Amino acid sequence: MGWYLAQQLINAFSYGSILGLLAVGYTMIYGILGLINFAHGEIFMIGAFVCFFLVTLYHVPWVVGALGAVAGSTVAGLLLERLVYRPCVKRKAPVLTVFIASFGASLLLRFLFMMFFTDRRRAFPIPELFEKMYFLGGVAIGLRDIIIFVTTIVIMSLVACFIKYTKLGTAMRGVSYDAKTAQLMGINSTRIIVAAFAVGSALAGISAIEYGLSFGILNPAMGFMPGLEGFIAAVVGGIGNVPGAMIGGFLIGVGEILFVALLPPALSPLRPLFVWALLFVILFLKPTGIFRPNVKFEGLWGE
């Protein structure tokens, strides 16, 4: 039982990493723009597809493919900002309008990929090198799991340092807290928004590669569930709060895997229910998430 639990925990950390990276993206964009980027899951999906095309069809080295995925996601995120959100923000559209537009953008991207590439599942390219397994007592640890976990920790530390110690990161926190005052300090909020989209989307790209490594598949609908769960993780962590989102991601990921692992197999189809139940319980106890949301004004929605 102990070994089994340890084994499941290792699986859980991979999934937690994926969700954590997604949640940070949601939370950063929310903090800066006051907007839930509903299309974040699709940006994630685009990253996986770019890697797939580069490696499987054009036979570039895997590392180049992975970098391509991050670049692809970043470009997709920036295009989304430029073509959908910026026009809305420029016209001072109400938050709800922008949300509906982002809902539209999410379906647009998903069905666009479905239209061109069908919703068939494809195999995500995994280098043979990564298939290596280490055995520690009764636990099998794949090199993949180690790579996923270490990458996530490194990336998250980098993001945390970026937010904490650089001028741009400080400015982002300032805009997130009070955009009106921040512009009086000479901060061009458009540039900060672009930066948030770039960083958030790049993280989604990294998360997509980890997802591919962990599950070995990709299809146009792959962004939907991790996207929603990343969003849940961001809310659980207190939206706008970057470290909170990281912890929220691990919490949801680990909780979900352990739910399936520890309860009788008959209950495992209820896995999606568990996430929502967890969300409802947390929101019921603390309506703004576990950690303090990093936004000054609640009720941005005119409620």
Name the residues that contact other proteins, by CB under 8 A.
30, 36, 84, 87-88, 91, 93-101, 103-105, 107-108, 110-112, 114-115, 118-119, 167, 170-171, 173-174, 177-178, 180-189, 228, 231-232, 235, 239, 269-270, 272-273, 276, 279-280, 283-284, 287-288, 294, 296, 298-303
| Closer residue to other proteins (CB): 76 or 98 | 98
CA separation, residue 279 to residues 29, 228, 245, 286, 295 (Å) = 21, 11, 14, 10, 20
The least CB distance from residue 104 to other proteins, in Å, is: 4
CA separation, residue 195 to residues 20, 77, 89, 106, 247 (Å) = 19, 10, 16, 20, 23
| Closer residue to other proteins (CB): 228 or 257 | 228
Please name the residues in contact with 259: beta carbons below 8 A apart, sequence gap of 6 or more. Answer: 267, 271, 274
Amino acid identity of residue 297, one-letter, is: F
The least CB distance from residue 232 to other proteins, in Å, is: 7
| Closer residue to other proteins (CB): 95 or 147 | 95
Q: Are 17 and 204 in contact (CB under 8 A)?
A: no
| Closer residue to other proteins (CB): 60 or 221 | 221
- The CA distance from 107 to 124, in Å, is 23
The least CB distance from residue 221 to other proteins, in Å, is: 10
The least CB distance from residue 60 to other proteins, in Å, is: 28
Give the orientation angle of helix 40-52 with respect to helix 189-215, to 10 degrees.
Answer: 60
Helix (H) or strand (E) holding 38: none
| Closer residue to other proteins (CB): 17 or 27 | 27
CA separation, residue 9 to residues 15, 146, 258, 259 (Å) = 10, 12, 7, 11
Q: Are 196 and 172 in contact (CB under 8 A)?
A: yes
158: tokens are 């980098």
| Closer residue to other proteins (CB): 152 or 176 | 176
| Closer residue to other proteins (CB): 3 or 280 | 280
CA angle 133, 137, 140 (to 5 degrees): 25
The least CB distance from residue 299 to other proteins, in Å, is: 6
The least CB distance from residue 112 to other proteins, in Å, is: 5
Pairing of strands 217-218, 139-142: unpaired
The least CB distance from residue 258 to other proteins, in Å, is: 19
